[in-house]
Amino acid sequence: MFFLMVLADVPPRRRHKAYLVYDTYAGLVKAVCMRILRNETLAEEALQESFLRIFKNLHKISEVSSHKTRSFVVIISRNTALHLLRQEQKHHKGRVEAEPELLPLFDEPVYSPAEGKELQSVLAALPDIHKDVLELKIYQQLSDRAAAELLGISPGAVRKRLQRAKAAVLQLLKENYGEEMYEKYK
């Protein structure tokens, strides 16, 4: 019976996590890729590559429809699209241009400087390069190697970026909320 089931290859479309993730986030990933690449063919290529990277990290996704998974998917797709964009620019012009001017995906939420929201305001003000590494390493708890694969950099660069991102957080805390706040988290 087992072998019959194996040979029959009935794809349990709704049962497997990969299908759930794809069905839930395909539109979002395509939107992110289109925003960056502004080309249908390239966006489809980036979408495939993004999902391949997501599927490699499926075990990290505990709940498919959560904001944690949603942001994880966006980070991966944005970095994949950016990587593809740089490759395209290099291919067509023989040199890498400066970081492309990107339209924001949406209007960032505004945080009032209420207690407990200081760090959230600081995070909102951070550039994506720092936000991504902080998210993957601290929030998603990925290893240096896994984060490096997703960001398309070396594990050493991940450690360096993380160090700089934390320094940037502390610097922003100091600038916006004073020495006391800086000392609190130092």
Partner 1 sequence: MKNTSKLDTALKAAFDGYRQDWCAALPEGGAVTLTPTANAKMQKALRRAKVYYPLFGTTARRVASVVLALFIAFNAVVLNVESLLPGKASLTVEDLTYHRYRVTVTYKGEIPAYDFEEKYPSYLPQGYSMGDATGSIFQNEVGVSYIGPEDYFIYTQSSFYHKYLDGDPIEYIISADGKKPKQTVIDGKRAVIATRDTSTCLIICDNQYVYFLSGSGNIPLSEYKKIAESIS
Nearer to partner 1, 97 or 117 (CB): 117
Which range in 83-91, 94-102, 144-152, 166-174 contacts partner 1 by CB under 8 A?
Answer: 166-174
Burial of 148 (0-12, 13-18, 19+ CB in 10 A): buried
Whether 78 and 32 have beta carbons less than 8 Å apart is answered as: yes
Count interface residues toward partner 1 (CB under 8 A): 53
Q: State the residue for tokens 């990969």.
A: 18
In sign, the C-alpha dihedral spanning 105, 106, 110, 111 is: negative
48 binds partner 1 (CB under 8 A): yes
Nearest to 15 by CA among 64, 81, 88: 64
Q: Which of 95, 103, 106, 114 binds partner 1 (CB under 8 A)?
A: 106
20 binds partner 1 (CB under 8 A): no
186 binds partner 1 (CB under 8 A): yes
Nearer to partner 1, 11 or 94 (CB): 11
70 binds partner 1 (CB under 8 A): yes
Nearest to 177 by CA among 110, 108, 112: 112
CB of 24 to partner 1, least distance (A): 6
109 binds partner 1 (CB under 8 A): yes
Q: Residues in the site for partner 1, rule: CB under 8 A?
A: 3, 6-7, 9, 11, 16, 18-19, 22-31, 41, 44-45, 47-48, 51-52, 55, 58, 67-68, 70-71, 74, 105-109, 117, 119-120, 122-124, 134-135, 138-139, 166, 169-170, 184-186
